Amino acid sequence: MFRNGLKNHDSGNTGVIFAVFAPTPWESGEQSLLSYKSSRRQLKPALLLIMLTAFNAAAAESMPAGPPASADPALQTEWGLRYQHAEGVARDHDRAIKLYCAAARKGYAPAQYWLGWSYANGHGVDRDDGLAAAWFRLAASQGDRPARRMLEFIGDADKAPEPKCILTDGSEYLEALKSVPNPSRKLIRKWVRRLSPDYELNPALVLAVIQVESNFDPKARSHKNAQGLMQLIPATAERFGVKDILDPLDNLKGGMAYLRWLLDYFNGNLTNALAAYNAGEQAVKRHGGVPPYSETRAYVRKVRQVVRNTAPPVSS
């Protein structure tokens, strides 16, 4: 049934397939558009319950217990529809959004359409016409006719937000980061922007530390055996849970955790935290501030200068 639904989506007739449990605004031309704008026609509750119960009971016998571990976007979208409409599985809007999102990020237009449909209708998630338009626009750019019709109806605002996958609690669903042996600067910056909120760090600060420490070389190694993007010594890496010091993403997380710890340890004093990152917290504590080491003092100046050149001032 769902494979047929996806095929019908491709031909612009999805509304007929999903009329019972997913009334589609564009299914019957102008009349349906008007009903979408006000209040869509509903089947009588008793009849609807009987139909859904009978369908779900039959579907449950033939469907697997959960979605397969497949990277195929059509199959991910099919399972998203099942979870959104409780077809043979328990209704789970968050899982549906995640499945749609995984397929949509691979450029699969039907998944992009169903994300737009979910936000346009407020089906299990908060209604957001701007976000809906953003997803419809992506699908329409690939020639998806239903998405084009929806854009004509809800409007394709120039200031529509970037397409995001927003879950039922209002949080954004972000794809899990995957490490690579030789990440580009662009990818490293993406990682830093993604991870910085988790450590309550200014991404410009983290990027400045990386630039001064390793110049974005994930294989960098100093004469003191500091390694990787954030030049962690083995003892520090172990202290902050780094399993593979030369794994760029693992190294980055460990360095960010250490930097966050230093800022907390020195009560938000950035100068002392940076000095400790270079010379160790005990050296800073022993000298009551930046140690009188030329390397450490130059290090603090360089990092702060890079931050000033790339972002608003960071608190001192």
Q: 107 — alpha (psi -120 to 50), left (phi > 0) or beta? A: left
Angle (nearest 5°) at CA 149 between 147 and 154: 90
Confirm or reject CATH 3.40.50.300 for domain 185-310, answering yes or no.
no
Average pLDDT, the chain: 82
Burial 93-118 (b: 16+ CB within 10 A, else e): bbbbbbbbbbbbeeebbbbbbbbbbb
Lowest model confidence (mean pLDDT) among 16-25, 129-138, 292-301: 16-25
Where do you find CATH 1.10.530.10 in the chain?
Answer: 185-310
The C-alpha atoms of residue 231 and residue 218 are separated, in whole angstroms, by 9
- Identity of the amino acid at 225: N
Task: For residues 257-279, give the mean pLDDT.
Answer: 97
> Hey, is 289 helix, strand or coil?
coil
The C-alpha atoms of residue 50 and residue 189 are separated, in whole angstroms, by 53
Q: What pLDDT, on the 0 to 100 scale, is given for residue 162?
A: 85
The verdict on pTM exceeding 0.75 is no
Q: Give the pLDDT confidence of 187-238 residue by residue, as tens digits.
A: 999 999 999 999 999 999 999 999 999 999 999 999 999 999 999 999 999 9
**pLDDT > 90 fraction of the chain, expressed in percent and rounded:** 69
The C-alpha atoms of residue 18 and residue 196 are separated, in whole angstroms, by 42
Residue 154 pLDDT grade (very low, low, confident, very high; cuts 50, 70, 90): confident
Residue 109 pLDDT grade (very low, low, confident, very high; cuts 50, 70, 90): very high
Q: What pLDDT, on the 0 to 100 scale, is given for residue 174?
A: 87
Where do you find CATH 1.25.40 in the chain?
Answer: 2-154
Q: What pLDDT, on the 0 to 100 scale, is given for residue 32?
A: 32
Q: Give the pLDDT confidence of 55-108 residue by residue, as tens digits.
A: 554 544 445 544 554 579 999 999 999 999 999 999 999 999 999 999 999 999
Using CA atoms, how far residue 193 sits from 118, 190, 245, 250, 254, in Å, is 28, 5, 21, 15, 15
The C-alpha atoms of residue 63 and residue 301 are separated, in whole angstroms, by 62
- As a CATH number, domain 2-154 is 1.25.40
The C-alpha atoms of residue 97 and residue 172 are separated, in whole angstroms, by 10
Active site residues: 213
Q: What pLDDT, on the 0 to 100 scale, is given for residue 316?
A: 40
Shortest CA distance to 182 belongs to which of 85, 262, 248? 248
Q: What pLDDT, on the 0 to 100 scale, is given for residue 176?
A: 82
Residue 298 pLDDT grade (very low, low, confident, very high; cuts 50, 70, 90): very high
Q: What pLDDT, on the 0 to 100 scale, is given for residue 47?
A: 54
